[in-house]
Amino acid sequence: MSEHSALYSGSVVHRRLRPVAHRLRYRVFSLLLDLDELPRLARRLRFFSLDRFNLFSLHQGDHGAGGEQGLRPYVEHQLHAAGFATGGAIRLLAMPRILGYAFNPLSVYFCHHPDGGLQAILYEVNNTFGERHSYLIAVDEAQRQGGELTQQCAKRFHVSPFLALDMHYRFGIVAPRAEDERLRIAVTASDAEGPVLTACFDARRRALDDLQLLRAFIACPLLTLKVITAIHWEALRLWAKGLRLHRRPGAPERTVTVVNNKHP
């Protein structure tokens, strides 16, 4: 069994605070995939494949630059360009393709220093217009060895037509660790007047094996299709509540925004 890769099962809760109140909660799961373990996972697991069709699969072209470079070289290129060390573990938290389909609003890469400590997190954001942008944020030295950490950055990429671009993100993270079942990814989007939206994924660690994959599929069948359907359904509900639409701006010039967490 893999030492680092795992399945995380839990729920996503979104709360819009203003100008209208809105709340949603969905049961979801994600895979934590150590990029160095991907070939071995594909050989060991009957229901998971790498870059080919299966009940569950990871297609590297669904992430990163979307090309044939491979995920580890892509992430290490971003780390090196931003002045981080390379050679440490990189673990991707994302929903897999299920029966060939995937849509990840947010995928998270936990990037470790060669000494083992967490040095940076790469947040990869997809919108429903087929665009992608990432935020690479340094982990504060005092938070590298575990526990809850906080990060922040200015919003640079258009995601929801109901949210303006002139906003700020705050992330609250309980990073995945083999010795701790918990995982938490919380995001607060704020404008000049304060928080507008909060989103949180709370989950518990499970072994990544064929039995747990089957259980996850039974509990959340066609999860990735449900995600894209829910995005449009909730958007319709917000529109019905009278929330105004924001004009879609152009995509950022750079595909990755690098942030020093001490100076957002």
CA distances from 205 to 5, 9, 11, 55, 86 (A): 10, 7, 13, 20, 27
The tokens of 42 are what? 């594909």
Helices (H), the chain: 38-44, 71-81, 210-219, 223-240
The pLDDT > 70 percentage for the chain reads 95
Band the pLDDT of 40: cuts 50, 70, 90: very high
Band the pLDDT of 52: cuts 50, 70, 90: very high
Query: What domain range is 133 assigned to?
Result: 6-259
pLDDT for 263 beyond 50: no
Question: What's the pLDDT at 248?
Answer: 86
In a domain, 1, yes or no: no
In 3D space, the residue among 212, 207, 35 whose CA is nearest the CA of residue 107 turns out to be: 35
In a domain, 36, yes or no: yes
CA distances from 4 to 148, 151, 166 (A): 19, 24, 37
In 3D space, the residue among 22, 10, 49 whose CA is nearest the CA of residue 210 turns out to be: 49
Question: What's the pLDDT at 174?
Answer: 95
pLDDT for 64 beyond 60: yes
The pLDDT > 90 percentage for the chain reads 77
- Exposed, middle or buried: residue 236 (CB in 10 Å: 0-12, 13-18, 19+)? exposed
In a domain, 134, yes or no: yes
In a domain, 264, yes or no: no
Band the pLDDT of 264: cuts 50, 70, 90: very low
Q: What single string gives the DSSP state of each residue in 106-159?
A: EEEEEEE-TTSSEEEEEEEEE-TTS-EEEEEEEPPGGGTTSSEEEEEEE--S--
Question: What's the pLDDT at 146?
Answer: 63
Band the pLDDT of 59: cuts 50, 70, 90: very high
More confident site: 161 or 95:
95
Cα radius of gyration (the chain): 18
Band the pLDDT of 115: cuts 50, 70, 90: very high
Average pLDDT, the chain: 92
In a domain, 30, yes or no: yes
Band the pLDDT of 58: cuts 50, 70, 90: very high
In a domain, 149, yes or no: yes
**Do 133 and 125 form a contact (C-beta atoms < 8 A)?**
yes
pLDDT for 142 beyond 90: no
> What is the total count of domains within the chain?
1
Residue type, 259: V
| Residue corresponding to tokens 């922040």 | 152
